């Protein structure tokens, strides 16, 4: 094989193409390491928990029997169903497509940062995203983040392109994509608040004009949601996008008070809350939105009764998003023998408070990888803070606030439920922008010091 010939042609490629190829290669290595064609891997690691639900819904879509489902959003299962329709019900084929979806996300992320900041920043941030260990290992799952992230990056690109060019059509198109996001993950139900806030507070022009644009964003997003809302109205009599919120609000968010502050076990908490819920809607009520509405009302009552306790759990969950190492998922992909999934406690319990138990429960090989991941996170977060400082010093407040809005939305709306690195996936591209800025700042400082030494010499 003529390696010089290959090297010559690789050097002719644009840097972003090389970055995408590198990211795809790393994800393909993870695919080979996982061996997802092995029936045991499929049964034990792919068709479990949320992945099992997505797979079942995909099969039901293939059988044209999805109709009444309102808890799980249809976008990701529909994508899986499309792959199954072409290649058969083979989960590992979906993982191959995930590699392509990751490539799409990196490309649009690069294009967005190039507009927002600079070519150099975009390239460095894209390298960080392509090599991010959790982005790589979670590409080898049947989780909805694999579709959500590239679509989010498409929105990000279209929106910053609008902010640069002031093209009304781009704002409408980005709003359509913002509406589509909720078809993939219900966490995006209120996502339109992000572009709305940016338009109202950072966009140029007079206040009436900004209000008009903000109103248009909301109306376009609501229009995109109409098909889902109409389906749920026909099936259950409720004009709503999803019935997902009530369960999470009651059994996870409000329920965290029962486990962390009131001392109940998870099983006891579920039994108590289910009994209260049944008393509100009647045991055996199968209307998903009656259940959702009552669960939200009951959750609200609990939060109002224990506001500070809930706030403590929520903020702890926000911190957990950024400290989770997800060593179990890493062990699955790398084929490292592990003692099993480490549960640091109930939702809203601090992961930092059980480091000793984590160290005692994991094998040395897993702990080595955990240390590597922890060092990467320390590197990313430290340089991100430096990057934020450099943007403040340069008075690039718009470039600072826009990524922060995305970080704040996905962190705060996740909160209590943030128990693994999975919940950091929509956040990490945006703090990696700051990490890239920090790296470039250090590089500039080093170059400046070298020039000063040369001048002194």
Q: What does the pLDDT profile of the chain (457 residues) look like in tens digits?
A: 566 666 665 565 689 999 999 999 999 999 999 999 999 999 999 999 899 999 999 999 998 877 666 788 999 999 999 999 999 999 999 999 999 999 999 999 999 999 999 999 999 999 999 999 999 999 999 999 999 999 999 999 999 999 999 889 999 999 999 999 999 999 999 999 999 999 999 887 888 889 999 999 999 999 999 999 998 888 888 888 888 888 899 999 999 999 999 989 989 999 999 999 888 887 777 788 888 899 999 999 999 999 999 999 999 999 999 999 988 888 889 888 765 555 556 788 888 877 877 787 788 888 898 899 999 999 999 999 999 999 999 999 999 999 999 999 999 999 999 888 999 999 999 999 999 999 999 999 998 888 877 777 6
Please give the structure tokens belonging to residue 50.
């949320």
Phi and psi, residue 224, nearest 5°: -65, -30
Write down the domain spans for the chain: 246-313
Residue 314 is encoded by which pair of tokens? 């929520």
The C-alpha atoms of residue 287 and residue 323 are separated, in whole angstroms, by: 38
Q: In terms of Cα–Cα distance, which of 332, 318, 351 is closest to 417?
A: 318
* Phi, psi dihedral angles at 205 (to 5 degrees): 100, 175
Taking residue 357's Cβ as centre, other Cβ atoms within 10 Å add up to 13
**What is the rounded distance in angstroms from the CA atom of residue 6 to the CA atom of residue 110?**
25
71, 181, 318, 429 from 239: Cα distances, Å:
14, 19, 31, 34
């Amino acid at each position: 094989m003529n390696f010089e010939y290959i090297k010559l042609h690789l050097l002719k490629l644009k840097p972003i193409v090389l970055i995408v190829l590198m990211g795809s290669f790393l994800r393909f290595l993870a695919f080979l390491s996982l061996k997802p064609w092995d029936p045991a891997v499929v049964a034990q690691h792919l068709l479990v928990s949320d992945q099992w639900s997505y797979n079942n819904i995909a099969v039901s879509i293939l059988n044209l029997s999805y109709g009444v489902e309102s808890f799980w959003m249809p976008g990701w299962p529909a994508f899986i169903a499309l792959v199954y329709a072409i290649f058969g019900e083979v989960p590992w084929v979906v993982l191959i497509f995930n590699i392509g979806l990751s490539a799409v996300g990196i490309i649009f992320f690069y294009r967005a940062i190039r507009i927002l900041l600079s070519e150099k920043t975009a390239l460095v941030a894209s390298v960080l995203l392509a090599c991010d260990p959790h982005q790589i290992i979670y590409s080898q799952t049947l989780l909805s983040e694999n579709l959500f992230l590239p679509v989010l990056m498409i929105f990000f690109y279209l929106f910053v392109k609008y902010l640069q060019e002031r093209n009304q059509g781009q704002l409408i198109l980005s709003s359509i994509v913002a509406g589509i996001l909720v078809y993939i993950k219900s966490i995006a139900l209120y996502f339109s608040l992000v572009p709305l806030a940016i338009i109202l507070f950072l966009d140029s022009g007079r206040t009436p004009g900004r209000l008009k644009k903000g109103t248009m964003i909301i109306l376009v997003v609501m229009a995109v949601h109409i098909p889902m809302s109409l389906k749920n109205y026909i099936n259950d009599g409720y004009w709503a996008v999803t019935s997902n919120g009530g369960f999470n609000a009651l059994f996870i968010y409000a329920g965290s008070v029962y486990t962390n502050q009131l001392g109940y076990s998870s099983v006891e908490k579920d039994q108590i809350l289910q009994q209260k819920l049944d008393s509100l809607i009647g045991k055996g009520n199968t209307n998903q939105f009656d259940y959702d509405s009552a669960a939200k009302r009951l959750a609200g009552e609990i939060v109002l009764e224990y506001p500070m306790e809930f706030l403590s759990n929520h903020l702890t969950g926000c911190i957990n998003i950024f400290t989770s190492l997800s060593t179990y998922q890493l062990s699955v992909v790398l084929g490292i023998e592990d003692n099993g999934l480490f549960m640091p406690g109930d939702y809203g319990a601090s992961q930092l408070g059980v480091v000793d138990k984590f160290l005692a429960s994991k094998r040395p090989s897993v702990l080595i990888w955990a240390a590597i991941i922890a060092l990467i996170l320390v590197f990313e977060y430290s340089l991100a803070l430096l990057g934020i400082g450099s943007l403040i010093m340069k008075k690039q407040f718009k470039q600072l606030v826009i990524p922060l809005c995305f970080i704040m939305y996905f962190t705060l709306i996740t909160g209590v439920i943030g128990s693994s690195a999975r919940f950091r996936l929509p956040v990490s591209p945006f703090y990696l922008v700051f990490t890239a800025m920090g790296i470039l700042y250090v590089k500039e400082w080093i170059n400046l010091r070298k020039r000063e030494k040369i001048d002194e010499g």
